[in-house]
Structure 1
């Protein structure tokens, strides 16, 4: 049975719970609930849960280092489990994708995302699988304030469908691999 480490990026604490930047945490919380894998063990500079779901062994990890240092947490988990970087799936928010859409890719740059920058720096490579959850870009105003603000009421109403869609995608990704999942989900509107 293959093991996958699935990292959801976000910032810890209730202040950030419903912010756009916490899309990765939100997906992981939903996956945790559906898979029955509690994310409660304090380890790897984060909180973690391990279990089997849909025939796959999953390690779910929410770094508690704040976004800009989240690479440390993922690197600790990868090294401890002696897994190749290809077995790491990172779920994160993406400004360049409209809200409700999702894209997948392996490798690439950080596009200004400090969590991805930290991951690439700590892992020595950016060649991990990314599940990019679209949050849209502000029409005007500061990007930092935008990502650190809560989703709008309209977005919140659609969020459960979006999270369920991303969980379905992650399940397929863990089971079937990137090429097949990309062909079905890449740039798909999930709401």
Structure 2
């Protein structure tokens, strides 16, 4: 059994904030898989589905971001899920909007939800997918808890779709394969953006 967790904060006031990218990816994945309901169990909203031959739990912790580990550990203990079968999806200020990065392990990098999971699991050895929201010049808290603008949505919405697709690839083909496919896409996109920036500077 696999567990895909999207991090965010519960409540309508946080529904469209940058910090809730993880929830948004789970919601998109649920729509793509035809899921119409979820249960409030183990401190999270969860649903179960089959992806290929794999049984998968989709989860959105309802503990607020800083305590995300409580829900993740409760679900993993109940269903006897190993850390190698866990994928956590989070927002990341160090990545620009429109990009994402998948890694097999690593530090929390300042992301409080990831930090909570690492502390309560007692390991950094689980797959995480970081979805870029960009870093402001000031006011980090206001930025992550701020609403996604219409202009940002044009960039972020396709990334949410890509992230949902990548989560399905992770279930079916594993972490290394999803890294090869989607981290390479990010690299190509970054290189294209750099070339366009150079072209614009030459034009000026």
TM-score category (smaller protein): over 0.9
TM-score using structure 1 length: 0.93
1:82-101 correspondence to structure 2 within 5 Å: 82-101=80-99
Tell me, yes or no, if the aligned pair for 1:103 and 1:188 is still in contact at 8 Å. no
User: Which residue number corresponds to residue 78 of structure 1?
Assistant: 76
Q: Which runs of 5+ in 1 are unaligned?
A: none
Corresponding residue number in structure 2 for 1:148 = 145
* In 2, Cα distance between equivalents of 1:125 and 1:41: 28
Structure showing greater Rg: 2
- Give the 3 Å change call, closer, same or farther, for CA 67–125 of structure 1 in structure 2: same
Q: Secondary structure at the residue paired with 1:122?
A: helix
Alpha-carbon distance in structure 2 between the residues aligned to 1:162 and 1:38: 22
Question: 1:8-59: per-residue Cα shift (whole Å, max 9, x none)?
Answer: 0000011111111000000000001111234521101011000112332110
- Contact 1:101–1:187 under 8 Å retained in 2: no
Aligned counterpart for 2:109 among listed residues 111, 120, 132: 111
* 1:50 partnered with 2:51: no
In the alignment, the residues of structure 1 paired with residue 45 and residue 141 of structure 2 have an alpha-carbon distance, to the nearest angstrom, of 25
State the match for 2:176 in structure 1.
179
TM-score, structure 2 normalization: 0.88
Could you tell me which runs of 5 or more consecutive residues in structure 2 were left unpaired when the two chains were aligned.
190-204
RMSD over aligned Cα, in angstroms?
1.6
More helix by share: 2
In the alignment, what sits opposite 1:163? 160
